[in-house]
A and B are shown apart, each in its own frame.
Chain A
Amino acid sequence: MGKPLSTLVFLLLFINCVYSWKKDEFRNCNQTPFCKRARSRKPGSCSLIAADVSISDGDLVAKLIPKESSQENPAKPLVLTISAYQDGVMRLKIDEDQTLAPPRKKRFEVPDVIVPEFLNKKLWLQRLKEERIEGGLVISSVVYLSEGYEGVIRHDPFEVFVRESGENGKKVLSLNSNGLFDFEQLKENKEDNEDWEEKFRTHTDKRPYGPQSISFDVSFYDADFPTKGPGVDDSEPYRLFNLDVFEYAHDSPFGLYGSVPFMTSHGKSRGSSGFFWLNAAEMQIDVFSPGWNNEYSSVLMLPTDQKRVDTLWMSEAGVVDAFFFIGPKPKDVVRQYTSVTGTSALPQSFAIAYHQCRWNYRDEEDVYNVDAKFDEHDIPYDVLWLDIEHTDGKRYFTWDKMLFPNPEEMQNKLAAKGRRMVTIVDPHIKRDESYYIHKEASEKGYYVKDSSGKDFDGWCWSGSSSYIDMVNPEIRSWWAEKFSYENYVGSTPSLYIWNDMNEPSVFNGPEVSMPRDALHHGDVEHRELHNAYGYYFHMATAEGLVKRNDGKDRPFVLSRAFFPGSQRYGAVWTGDNSADWDHLRVSVPMTLTLGLTGISFSGADIGGFFGNPDTELLVRWYQLGAYYPFFRGHAHHDTKRREPWLFGERNTELMREAIHIRYMLLPYFYTLFREANATGIPVIRPLWMEFPSDEKTFSNDEAFMVGNGLLVQGIYTQRAKHVSVYLPGDESWYDMKSGSAYKGRAIHKLEALEDSIPSFQRAGTIIPRKDRFRRSSTQMEYDPYTLVIALNSSKSAEGELYVDDGKTFEFQQGSYIHRRFTFSNGRLTSSNAGPATAGDHKYVSECTVERIILLGLSTQPKTALIEPENRKVDITWGPLLLRGGPGPSVLTIRKPNVRIADDWTIQIL
């Protein structure tokens, strides 16, 4: 019994409460011609067969032709290419044949998403093996894929799949097994009575190139049907179309701000596999219930001995450029996927601390007051944000001179306390001749054009606006220059950027976005790249922040829209959520899903953007949000102020504690961010990623893992008395607050505490902390560490610590400290997990370990011996947590004061 998790990015969840979401302003499948057409097609209706199958230039190539092509209308063949890459990735491309009469237009392939290193991992296919399957009736061509796996193309009807090696090897993933493949080739002219235009509400899409959609079915094997949450309307496919949805429903399959057309499946018996279609046009994906195609079982030759989930992928334009990931572990799939689209960038250390935002901190005085209040209440924060109102009339890169007369001084004052600021820069440019960005962009022709070739003019915050054409690298480079200190007047090195509205949001456009027939660089229609627009904008902005420091420092850019690869450029957040418990609840699956698609650095607005959270909800949100990879409080300008000190002494204390938990765990988080950067494995993970064979974890998305060592369970209801938490695996778990041990593989009903949500350290792990609290993470740099060792049943544990300068790209040259801590046989060892020699780029740190906490030790030793120094230190009873009142006492090695950079062992005597 396994279940695949649809990793179609964003919200798959629960409960109906659609308030303001204007459903009828957005298209459903029936109002979307290509979706409607694709869904009306019957299984087995694809008549294409593979011909001329051969090996060429290390790829398998073939032509797809109709089995019976008619004389009067000879169909043009399609070209199919299969390539294999290291580490179990198969790539399938299908496009029109460019060698034939040149088509009217080349179909769009999404540039700058696949990382160059991936292309170097290509395996040069040498050999093609032909085999007859299904009783010798059907010919298939087989190529090697990776150890134990093969890629297969069946010729008639054509089907592409990955299987375990051998003629009877089990299928893993397949395409067109249900015969739903369809590829609308571009035509020269309209056929009679064919209407290419499309109307939706007041907008008309001219569609000058006619229908050009692609659809096909993909099957995931040894996986069960994914349970969609109750309330999700099964009649609608998941829609991948980046949209700015006002007061979005948390339970809808409709499109939101970002799209990642990547699906992971997971089952107990075989494990995980994944499928990714690199395509930036509107996509719709159906996940079928079992038995949906029973009436066609005679025409289809599907294996009956394997459980299977069928899906239908439909896109409005583009080509087939699909990737099959063989897994078999959940982490393998993420690693394989991020080998194609890149891993998460390593953020600067300040960026993973707490951010304070509001639409809007009104003026400099307001900024200073808020900053001072944090200090007054001993609440740390690292970044203060300014929303759109800080600009001069929504002209980005400018300041309202009345409200922010001295922006540099303001930033410097905050920087003196180690704090940063963020300003917002959106892609809509005010059409104002006196605005230099507009002037340059219009003179250079850098705007997206409308279908008539004029600069597209849409309505957004700045009123009548045009949109920078970010798909063009030259324009991105021009945009990046705008972030230099000379160009962005009033910016300082402590200023970072927030990209909003980059779906793009166009208030008076179709579905609050850009018309699909708008034109980009190279005559690419907007429909072909819509979902990637925000990605390119994010990319260009991040480039700008790198450039302004001559490539020395890591950028920080938060983006609302995202696409495969966004993880390389910065953080994303779940957009304009609402201050209600359902949105708190859904924030977990949303951020977990983002993590599965490689976008590790994400979070939801603490408190909910729209509406006023009651105090309890706000406190619970801080308690949960402290574990989001991206941790930011934000609020709409119609809401009441909600800075943590505004709700009475007790609630201030509760929120302060929640934020302090995050600061305490920063060394652990930073180590996890580095892991995500190196391997793609997300910072927060669904339980099944760590416990892939524990079925009870498969549908659990209310608890999650932070790394492999911490399990966090949110509290999602008001005045909760109790909270149930499932602790997976065979080992026990230690309550992070009380230190008490809980059995694994069991549901525990716990008392819901006011001052924290349940969190547990997994036995067998070592978690690094910094227990001293400062104004911001900046001042914690030299503070000593605490190691918390939670012993498993064999009295051993291990963990890691990664440290670098927290700022520059030097770590890429090996300038970092990476330690592995192992505890076994009563001895803790610190060894190097990084490069043996870092050469000139050695990162130096004098930081020491001030405290080692031992959980699960049955003896009560009094001393420990540190080697090689041969120094004895005391073991005493000390507090598990230094804050939050008198807590339990735990065995503590007092002041070992060993340097984190060194090799050492500590023997418990």
Chain B
Amino acid sequence: MKFFGLLDLLLFGCFILLIHGITESAASSPLKDPLLGVSPEDENYFKGFSTSSMIKCKDGSKKFNKSQLNDDFCDCSDGSDEPGTSACPNGKFYCKNAGHSPLILYSSRVNDGICDCCDGSDEYDGKTKCLNTCWEAGKTARDKLKKKIATYVEGVTLRRQEIEKAKLAIAKEEGELSKLKDEEKILKPLVEKLKERKEQIEKVEEEERLRIEKEENKKKEAEEAEKKETKAEDIEHAHDDIQDNIGTVDQPPQDENIGEDTESLSREELGRRIASRWTGEKTDQHEEVDASSPDKDHQNTDELSNETNYDEEDNAYTSEEDEHKFDDDDDDDSKDQVDDFGTDDHYNPTPSQKLDSDDESDFSDISGTSGSSWLEKIQKTVKTMLDAVKLFQTPVNISDAAHVRKEYDESSAKLSKIQSRISSLTKKLNQDLGPEKEFYSFYGQCFETKQNKYVYKVCPFKQATQVEGYSTTRLGSWEKFEDSYRVMQFLNGDKCWNGPDRSMKVKLRCGLKNELTDVDEPSRCEYMALLATPALCVDSRLKELQDKLDSLNKQLPQLHDEL
């Protein structure tokens, strides 16, 4: 039905054209306003006609006279003689749009039957009637602009505060860093001395132990021999167990490769496999598709990519390995923790941040104002201790030995904490946190947004990920800011099957709070997202917006005159 409507419309269009054509060819008149489509900046250029009968095309290629101006024939290939018609493809048409902002159009939009200027000035050949919508459009635009300005005004303040905070925090951290470095300087030799002493004590103890052992050995030789036999058996058993364990873990994961041999496949598998050549999906782990359940099927063919399956399996495999490691290497646990502390620096508390509270509280005893006092205390203690146990007696005084050992353990733990703190602070302070350190608060922070079934997580200076259930896909590691700090770039994420490594660009916009939105994948495996943040609410931009609003407002009285 609609179609007939359209046909009628076209016929109608032709009819209008016919009448118009006659009038035009009869009159063949130049435009009523010879300066139609001329922008204010160009008015001077056309004033050339007041002193000379010919003026040069802007590109200097030719000259044209006044009657050639806007005569609907392109004389200058740069379009300078036809600002108001579509004759020159390189031309630009200026519409005043009183009540709204002026607009510069490609000449191709002039008299093309589509209203582009809100004042309708681009459609003047009578074929298309355009309503003047500048007042409404202008109002909407001004309101929008005002809102934007309001956001900026507030945002600029927030940004300044952020920058102030950042400056303070950085100063504090720099102070802390230099203090920690000083402390390290003092503590390091102490720990070494303690270590030396501890080793001396241990050496003496060991000698003592060996001596006693020898005596006891002699005494209990017979019983010892008996005991040993049974023990050996146990050890053998244990060994077997371990081997079994290793055996299971070492088994390679199921072969992921799509074999080229299709002979043994079921017809359905074959179909999927051939289809996968075009789609790039892996077919091995496809679930059975239930054709009668459209929803499930839809998910399966469209969304449930096999990479995800693959990842899940991968994860399963890794975690199994981890578990195993954990069982075997209890001793490494403490080291892991230290590592964590070094890499996962969550220092600055922000709303969306997840604190690693253990590390933080752990550290509180060596940081802060009381810092110097504990160091002095240690220094004193160690001094007394070393003085006290100047000469060794044999056997070693047991309480002294324990004291030294304890002191060593404590201070070396403190030293390594200080060292890892130094390294993380150095790393942080060396980051490009923006020209005014306005991105300081991004450090250690992550921003999340949920889109359909995926949770996207962007951690500046670290990485971006896509989480679906228990499966995490890395979209990229932090690379750098781009485009004058308006884009954050993450590169070298997980590889796409038959495609590039994943990557993500996060465009930054001025906003009152940090908010991640609009994640998109414009090309396969190349992600885009928007992040609103006060960090982008720059004064200069605010000024631009205000100027724009001023110029819009200036046009208003004029509009009323016209009305």
Residues of A within 8 A of B (CB): 20, 22, 25, 201-202, 246-247, 366, 378, 380, 389, 392-394, 416-418, 430-434, 458-461, 463-464, 485, 492-493, 506-508, 512, 548-549, 552, 576, 636-641, 660, 771-775, 779, 782-783, 807, 844, 846, 848, 850-851, 876-879, 881-883, 885-887, 889, 894-895, 897, 899
Chain B residues whose C-beta falls within 8 Å of the C-beta of A463 in the assembled complex: 271, 289, 291, 297, 301
Question: Please, which residues of chain B bring their CB within 8 A of the CB of A458?
Answer: 271
Q: Are B74 and A882 in contact (CB under 8 A)?
A: yes
B131 to chain A, nearest CB (A): 15
Distance to closest chain A CB from B498 (angstroms): 6
Instruction: Contact check, B277 vs A246: say whether CB atoms are below 8 A apart.
Output: yes
A508-B2 in contact (CB<8A): no
- Are A848 and B108 interface neighbours, CB within 8 A? no
- A886 pairs with B25, CB closer than 8 A: no
Do the beta carbons of A638 and B90 come within 8 Å of each other?
Answer: no
When chains A and B are docked, how far (Å) is the Cα of A775 from the Cα of B109? 8
How many A-B pairs have beta carbons closer than 8 Å: the answer is 168
Distance of A546 Cα from B86 Cα, bound (Å): 35
Q: Beyond A459-B272, A783-B86, A879-B77: 11 further Cβ-contacts under 8 Å? A: A202-B263, A418-B114, A507-B271, A507-B272, A548-B3, A637-B279, A641-B522, A775-B112, A876-B75, A883-B90, A886-B59
Pairwise interchain contact A779-B301, C-beta atoms closer than 8 A: no
- Contact of A772 with B3 in the complex, beta carbons under 8 Å: no
1/0 contact trace for B1-38 toward A, CB 8 Å? Answer: 11100110010001001101110010010000000000
Question: Are the CB atoms of A460 and B271 closer together than 8 Å?
Answer: yes
* B61 (CB) vs chain A CBs: closest residue: A886
Task: From known contacts A779-B113, A882-B88, infer whether A850 and B294 are also in contact, taking CB-CB under 8 Å.
Answer: no
Q: Which of A485, A576, A846 is B2 in contact with, Cβ under 8 Å?
A: A485
Question: Complex: how many Å from CA A380 to CA B114?
Answer: 14
Known: A430-B291, A773-B89. A459 touches B267 (CB 8 A): yes
Cβ of B275 under 8 Å from chain A: yes
**B127 and A782: CB pair below 8 A?**
yes
Distance (whole angstroms) from the CB of A241 to the closest CB of chain B: 17
Which residues, 249 to 296 on B, are CB-close (under 8 Å) to A? Answer: 260, 262-263, 265, 267-275, 277-280, 289, 291-292, 294
Closest partner residue, chain A, to B292 (CB atom): A433
B74 / chain A contacts, CB cutoff of 8 Å: 771, 878-879, 882
CA distance A345 to B89 in the complex (A): 32
7 contacts between A and B (CB under 8 A): A432-B297, A460-B271, A492-B2, A640-B523, A782-B127, A882-B90, A885-B77
| A165 CA / B302 CA spacing, docked (Å) | 66
* Cβ-closest chain A residue relative to B277: A246
Q: Is the CB of B106 within 8 A of A640?
A: no
A848 x B270 contact (CB < 8 A): no
Q: CA separation between A732 and B294, bound complex, in Å?
A: 65
Q: Does B247 contact A (CB under 8 A)?
A: no
B172 within 8 A of A: no
Given contacts A460-B271, A636-B278, A846-B17, whether A201 and B263 have CB atoms under 8 Å apart is yes
Cross-interface CB contact of A393 among B3, B62, B87, B302, cutoff 8 Å: B302
Set of chain A residues within 8 Å of B2, measured between Cβ atoms: 485, 492-493
- Cα separation A430 to B268 with both chains bound (whole Å): 14
Contact assessment for A507 and B7 in the assembled complex, using a CB-CB cutoff below 8 Å = no
Min Cβ gap A615→B in Å is 15
**Chain A residues positioned under 8 Å from B268 (CB to CB):** 459, 464, 508
| A459 B271 Cβ-Cβ under 8 A | yes
Complex Cα distance, B86 from A719, in Å, reads 36
Q: Which residues of A contact B88 (CB under 8 A)?
A: 882
Residues in A with CB closer than 8 Å to B522 are: 366, 641
Which chain A residues lie closer than 8 Å to B127 at the CB level? 782
Interface centre among B7, B112, B263, B270 (most CB of A within 10 A): B112
Given A636-B278, A779-B114 in contact, is the A434-B89 Cβ separation under 8 Å?
no
Give chain A residues whose Cβ lies under 8 Å from the Cβ of B499.
638
Nearest Cβ on chain B to A11's Cβ, whole angstroms: 20
Complex contacts, A774 vs chain B, CB 8 Å: 86, 108, 112
Residues of chain A within 8 A (CB-CB) of B62 are 877, 889
**Given the complex, which residues of A lie within 8 Å of B289, measured CB to CB?**
463-464
Contact B21 A507 (CB under 8 A): no
In the complex, which residues of chain B have a beta carbon less than 8 angstroms from the beta carbon of A512? 274
Q: Are A432 and B277 interface neighbours, CB within 8 A? A: no
Q: A433-B292, A897-B25, A899-B25 are in contact. Are A508 and B267 (CB under 8 A)?
A: yes
B241 to chain A, nearest CB (A): 47
Q: Contact between A20 and B277 (Cβ–Cβ < 8 Å)?
A: yes
Interface set, chain B 104-121, CB cutoff 8 A to A: 106, 108-109, 112-114
In the complex the two chains form, is B17's CB within 8 Å of A886's CB? no
Task: Check A882–B77 contact: CB distance below 8 A.
Answer: yes
Which residues of the other chain, A, contact B113 by a CB distance below 8 angstroms?
418, 779
> In chain A, what residue has the closest Cβ to B526?
A640
Please tell me if B543 contacts chain A, counting CB pairs below 8 Å.
Answer: no
Given A378-B108, A774-B108, A846-B17, are A392 and B298 neighbors across the interface (CB < 8 Å)?
Answer: yes
Complex alpha-carbon distance, A458 and B270, angstroms: 10
Interface pair A201/B274, CB less than 8 Å apart? no
Residue from the set A418, A512, A846 with the largest chain B CB neighbour count within 10 Å = A846
What's the minimum C-beta distance from A200 to chain B, rounded to whole angstroms?
11
Q: Is B77 in contact with A485, judged by CB distance below 8 angstroms?
A: no
B494 → chain A, closest Cβ, in Å? 15
* B144 within 8 A of partner (CB): no
Q: Which of B462-520 contact A (CB under 8 A)?
A: 496, 498-500
Q: Please state if B270 and A508 are interface contacts (CB–CB under 8 Å).
A: yes
A167 CA / B496 CA spacing, docked (Å): 72
B274 near A507 with CB under 8 A, answer yes
Bound form: Cα–Cα A799–B76 in Å: 28
B399 CB to nearest A CB, Å? 72
Interchain CA distance A572-B292 in the complex, whole Å: 34
Cβ–Cβ contact B301 & A772, under 8 A: no
> How far is A798 from B368 in the complex, measured between Cα atoms in Å?
94
- Report how far A247 CA is from B280 CA in the complex, Å: 13
Chain B positions within 8 Å of A485 at CB level: 1-3
Which A residues lie within 8 Å of B273 (CB)?
A: 507
Closest 4 CB pairs of A and B: A459-B271, A846-B21, A508-B271, A507-B274
Q: Are A772 and B18 in contact (CB under 8 A)?
A: no
Known A393-B294, A773-B89: A552·B274 in contact at CB below 8 Å: no
Q: How far is the CB of B125 from chain A (nearest CB, A)?
A: 9
Are B270 and A772 within 8 A (Cβ)?
A: no
Q: Tell me if B185 is interfacial: C-beta within 8 Å of chain A.
A: no
Instruction: List the A side residues contacting B265 at CB < 8 Å.
Output: 202
* Cβ-defined contact, A459 with B275, below 8 A: yes
Verify B75–A897 contact, CB threshold 8 A. no
B78/A886 in contact, CB under 8 A: yes
Complex Cα gap A463–B279 (Å)? 13
**CB-CB < 8 A to B291: which residues of A?**
430-432, 463-464
Q: How distant is A539 from chain B, measured CB to nearest CB, in Å?
A: 22
Query: In the docked arrangement, what's the CA distance between A876 and B22, Å?
Result: 27
- Which of B3, B20, B272, B301 contacts A493, CB < 8 Å? B3
| A246 with B274: CB separation less than 8 A | yes
B269 to chain A: which residues have CB within 8 Å? 508
Separation in Å of the A491 CB from the closest CB of chain B?
10
Contacts of B374 in A (CB 8 A): none
Nearest CB of B to A135, in Å: 60
